[in-house]
Each structure stands twice: as structure tokens, then as C-alpha cells.
Amino acid sequence: MNTYIYGPKNDPYHANKWRDPYPDDKLAELKELVDKGKETNVEFVWAIHVGGKINLGNPDDIQKVKDKFDQLYGIGVRQFAVFFDDAATDNTQLVSFMNDLQKKYVEAKGDVRPLIFCPQFYNKNHAISRGGEGYLRNLRNFDEDIQIMWTGDYVVSRINQSVIDYITDLIGRDVYIWWNYPVNDLGRAHLLHMGPTDALAPNIEHMSGLVSNPMNQAQCNKVSLFSIANYTWNSEKYDSQQSWQDSWQRIITDDEEALEAFKIFVQNCAAAPMSFGDVDESVYLQPYFEAFNKKYYANEDYSQEALELISLKKLKIVLLC
């Protein structure tokens, strides 16, 4: 894993106040992230969200974007992204705007990597239902080095060759996947996506990169990120089930009891919505529950079955009379 894209919508200087420079204290916080990225060989990409908040033909606005990039360049940022998602913009000058940034800023700097662009229509469902295919075809006129993001057929989507073929046929280049997984903020913040990472097909062609949109629960992301790293390293041999199981002992390394508890916990999260996989949850408990239920509903003595469940130390049973 070698890229971290910074673009939180709750950072006003990334979005609504994009024209304003960061205050010194906020800039210092970002520099810590940039420095940590350099230390760990991870490219820190700073994104600006101008969609719906910019006049693309206004030279002053174009210069404001470059000025903002310059402030971040000053603390070591060497790649930038421009976001237009979830906002309506007059796109008449979009191609000239993006090409100007790529040619007159990125290439002029000499040590900045190509721009990453997130379009207004960023998945197939949006493109078809909202009339965005012409917009996407127009992106063919972008400078060839600009990378274009895509979430798939939907906001949350499986990633396979047909998903890639649809968008690459429109934009005329390889596509950069913004994968909305294991993120859980779409009305499911109470659920943790810690099951097998099943929705990535092997041997995909014409995909220039893949970044994961994670959950707010940072530590819980490690299960999926471990598998995503496996996939991006060698998609041909990627085995989602094996990768899932391998992640456990790489996350809990020094406590056998904690490791056993962690294995149980992630299996209890295996069938969370948006996990994509066809996985039964808490399979290890099913025989015990079946035995208990058989006795319980037959009005037979179930004390032994209840004790077996309790002895597993995997759940607490409260018997109500």
C-alpha cells in the first residue's frame, strides 16, 4: 500500500473554504501526516473539493487553486487530487481547467506526480440515470497523465472486469478505483465490516490504481486493509478467505487469548451488510444452538446444552423464567 488520499468533507479548507489558506496550526497537523508518509513510503495526496464552488473559466479561481496547492507543496505534498463528486458544476471549461493545472502547475513543478480527478458522475448508476455519459466521454480530452476515479456500477460496488470495461470505454484510459469499502457511514455506522474481502475480482486489466475508503473505526479497518494490500500486491493469487484468516494473527501478535477472542469477534461480523461475501455469521455456534433449541422446544431438560454454550465463553446467556 503506497498512497493515502486526504479529502475529508469535514475539513473546511479542503471543501467550502478551499480558497482560504490553512491556518498555521492546521498546516502543522497536515505536515505531520506528510512526514509520516515519507517515513513509511506512502504518498500523501492532498485533495481539493471544488465541485459546485468554483467558476472553472475564472482566472482568479484557477490561480486560487494553484496558490492552495503551493501552500501544501511547501510542507512536502507532491501529489494532488481535484474532486467534483456530489456537487453540480458548470463544466463548460472543465477540460481546459484540468489541463491547465496538469500542464502549468504539476508539470511545471517537475517533482509533482500527475493529478487525480474525481468526476461529478462517479459510478455507472449515476452516469446512466443522471445523463452523465456525455460528460464522461468528454474526459477523453484530459491530458493523458491525469488519473480518473470511479466507484464502480454503484456508490458501493463489486469490482470486476465488466465494471472496468464500462468506464474505460467512455474515458479512453485506465481507471483509478475509489472503492467504498470497508466504509460504514452510509447509514450503517453501527456495523463493522470485518469479514472476508470478497468483492475484488482477480486479474483485472486497465485499472491504474485502487484506494479503499475505510471506516471511522480506524483499528477495525486492519482486517480489510490487510486483504486489500494482498489483492493489490498479487491479485492473480488473491484468496479472500485465506487472506481474512491470515490477517488475524498479523493484527494480534503477542497475546494468544486476545487472538482467540479476536477470531471469534471477526467471525461474528462476517455477514455485515455491504460485505458482498456469501458468508454465514457465527458458524461455530450453530451446532450448540441447534442442540439447545431442540431440547428447549421439546420441553426437555436443556441444562447440559446450556452449560456447553456457557463454557464456550463466547456469549453470555441470561435465562428468564
CA distances to 179, 188, 213, 217 from 196, in Å: 15, 18, 16, 17
Q: What gap in Å lies between CA 194 and CA 252, rounded to an integer? A: 14
The 3-state DSSP class for residue 241 equals: helix
What's the pLDDT tens digit per position in 107-139?
Answer: 999 999 999 999 999 999 999 999 999 999 999
Q: Where are the beta strands (DSSP E) in 24-143?
A: 43-49, 80-83, 116-118
The chain-wide mean pLDDT, for the chain, equals 92
Q: How confident is the model at residue 312 (pLDDT cuts 50, 70, 90)?
A: low
- Tell me the mean pLDDT in the region 37-52: 98
Question: What are 6's three cell numbers?
Answer: 486526504
What's the pLDDT tens digit per position in 188-211?
Answer: 777 889 989 989 999 999 999 999
Q: Please give the pLDDT value at position 319.
A: 37
* Percent of the chain with pLDDT strictly greater than 70: 93
Please name the residues in contact with 51: beta carbons below 8 A apart, sequence gap of 6 or more.
83, 84, 85, 86, 87, 88, 89, 120
Q: Please give the pLDDT value at position 25.
A: 98
The 3-state DSSP class for residue 27 equals: helix
CATH superfamily of 3-236: Glycosidases (3.20.20.80)
Q: Which residues are designated catalytic?
A: 86
- Per-residue pLDDT for 304 more than 50? yes
What's the pLDDT tens digit per position in 53-84?
Answer: 999 999 999 999 999 999 999 999 999 999 99
Q: Please give the pLDDT value at position 277.
A: 62
Q: Is 92 exposed, middle or buried (0-12, 13-18, 19+ CB in 10 A)?
A: exposed
Question: What are 101's three cell numbers?
Answer: 493545472
What's the pLDDT tens digit per position in 240-250?
Answer: 999 999 999 99
Most confident of 149-158, 191-200, 251-260: 149-158
- Per-residue pLDDT for 317 more than 90? no
- Tell me the mean pLDDT in the region 6-26: 97
Question: What are 206's three cell numbers?
Answer: 486497465
- Tell me the mean pLDDT in the region 24-42: 98
Q: How confident is the model at residue 278 (pLDDT cuts 50, 70, 90)?
A: low
Q: Please give the pLDDT value at position 164.
A: 99
- Tell me the mean pLDDT in the region 256-280: 79
Instruction: Look up residue 115 and give its DSSP letter.
Output: P
Q: Please give the pLDDT value at position 213.
A: 96
Domain boundaries in the chain? 3-236
Q: How confident is the model at residue 315 (pLDDT cuts 50, 70, 90)?
A: very low
